[in-house]
Amino acid sequence: MLAFAATSLLTPTETVKDPLLLIEQGKVADVIARTAVALPTGVSPTTFADAVIAPAYIDLHIHGGGGFDVMDESPEALLVIERLLARHGVSAYLPTTVTAALDKTLQALERLADSIEDHRTKGNGGPRAVPLGIHLEGPFISHARRGVHPPADLLPPKLETFERLWQAARGHIRMMTIAPELEGSPAVIAEAVRRGVCVSLGHSDADSAATARGIVAGARHATHTFNAMRPLDHHNPGILGAALADERLSADIIADGVHVDPAIVRLFARAKGDLQTVLITDATAATGMPDGRYHLGSLTVDVKGGVCTADGRLAGSVLTMDQAVRNLARFAGWNLSQSVAAATRNPARVARLAGKGILASGSDADFVVLSPEGEVLRTFIAGQEVQRNS
């Protein structure tokens, strides 16, 4: 048994003062006050003075990092990305595709499925972030709100196309972004939901009627709110109005101060509250790298001053999840527990990731050690510490 102590622990639904986190075989055995139990003989706690223990982070929307994209053919790509994620406190993620030629997408889905299954059967060769499913962003998105997704590769939503994508991914598609106004979308949404996929509305020019049809079909989330969707119209508010006001939808946001102004992040946090606000990074291969030219799927992106663009349009981010948590606290005036929940409990609920995003008896022993300001000092995955220089 391993034991860890700190000044406080965020479960994150409650704050435990002077806690003791007990871990056995990669799982949380218990979370208790340090004075409440006598440790077994020979067990001495590792103490993190003046620090906070919290669940490790989860990123539902990430394209890459460290110079690599999740759709790269290189066997090194996911290894580099997962080590970078872990250093920034992320223990689990959904590798996110970007629209590409269908054959390229199918090949990428097969590689990502291989990686997910390898993690499950062989372990990950040392503690690093674990892919728990695939986020399919495109090809079923709107030409009008495609962002930088290549227009030639967008496809109309059809059940037979979804089936090809599903088979290539061997059932590992856990999240899908789709434009509900496209002909055929309701049927694809309903079938994806039947298979356990979290369907998210985004990259869409949907009006209120089309948005409602998507929700009725089973969509329950919104992708990078405010970005790549119809702006708010007080007569016909569309997806944005539903994301802000409809309790059936949780929603995510890129809190980098670039994609959305801090004042709008504050508005969003007030509207969705601390149960339905989800942080994502939408990070690209440029994350953790100096300014320069990188790739996003088949696209070339330029990074200058922390801003990713392609042909003058925003193209993902270089945001890390630990920075997103600190930004949310600052932009929205939230405390650390609320902000941590938006990167842990809430995404775990959205993607239905059992045992993730919380610290409680029986949960996975994935946790971070934070400074009082939210800086990641150490990361542990399945009870094993991530090497900061790996």
Find tokens 């993607």 and name the residue.
351
**239 Cβ neighbours under 8 A, 6+ residues apart:** 180, 201, 202, 204, 206, 211, 222, 229, 230
Would you give the DSSP letter of residue 127? S
Whole-number Å distance between alpha carbons of 334 and 337? 8
CB 101 within 8 A of CB 153: yes
Which positions are catalytic?
282
Whole-number Å distance between alpha carbons of 380 and 323? 18
Q: How far apart are the first and last CA of the chain?
A: 26
Whole-number Å distance between alpha carbons of 303 and 287? 9
CB 341 within 8 A of CB 274: yes
Phi-psi region of 26 (alpha: psi -120 to 50; beta: other; left: phi over 0): left
Phi-psi region of 177 (alpha: psi -120 to 50; beta: other; left: phi over 0): beta
Whole-number Å distance between alpha carbons of 286 and 292? 8
Would you give the DSSP letter of residue 229? B
> HSE-up of 363 (CA within 13 Å, CB side)?
24
Amino acid at 282: D
The sign one gets for the Cα dihedral 323, 381, 55, 284 is positive
Widest distance between CA atoms in the chain: 68
Q: Pairing state of beta strands 2-10 and 46-55?
A: parallel
* Structure tokens belonging to residue 342: 């938006």
Find tokens 């409440």 and name the residue.
36
User: Residue 42 CA to chain centroid, in angstroms?
Assistant: 39
Whole-number Å distance between alpha carbons of 57 and 90? 4
